[in-house]
Structure 1
Amino acid sequence: MAIEINLDVMLAKRKMRSKALAKAIGITEANLSVLKNGKAKAVRLSTLDKLCEVLECQPADLLEFHPNTDE
């Protein structure tokens, strides 16, 4: 996938556990795990908004683009 989600990095920087973050943004731990592991096909803007609010960061802190060189 060309877009990488650096959620684990931000959690470590904020010294926060996945369980606490999931509760704070109102999603299940399973759905948060899907995001953390890069298995998500899409992210709702409302979820991204809550992630940035709770983690006190910008979307660019969570999302990183890597050009796909397979083509």
Structure 2
Amino acid sequence: MTICINLDVMMAKRKMRLNTLAKAIGITEANLSILKNGKAKAVRLSTLDKLCEVLECQPGDILEFEANHYDEHRLG
């Protein structure tokens, strides 16, 4: 199982730059970059809430579940 973070897609749709979004939600550009590049191990709900508010989207627009090929065979 994999959770994919589509933050870069939402930022592009809203024509929002990393530094602008970081300031708007109150986190560092470095931490937002980690999240945007899919390197984050966790996301605070308060951060997700602010992202959705500023980007005017739903959590499902940012987070997406993808089943791994291995998991499909194991469960099937």
Q: What's the TM-score once normalised by structure 1's chain length? A: 0.95
Equivalent residues, number: 71
Cα deviation digits, residues 24-53 of structure 1 (max 9, x gap): 000000000100111100000000000000
Which structure's CA Rg is the greater one? 2
Which structure features the higher share of helix residues? Answer: 2
2:29 is the alignment partner of 1:29 = yes
In structure 1, the partner of 2:20 is: 20
5+ residue gaps in structure 1?
Answer: none
Q: What's the TM-score once normalised by structure 2's chain length? A: 0.89
Q: Matched residues in 2 for 1:70 and 1:39: separation?
A: 21
In structure 2, the partner of 1:50 is: 50
- One-letter code of the match for 2:20? A
Runs of 4+ in 1 over 4 A off after TM superposition: none
State, as a whole percentage, how many aligned pairs show the same letter.
80
Report deviation, 1:68. Answer: 1.9
5+ residue gaps in structure 2?
Answer: 72-76
Report deviation, 1:70. Answer: 2.6
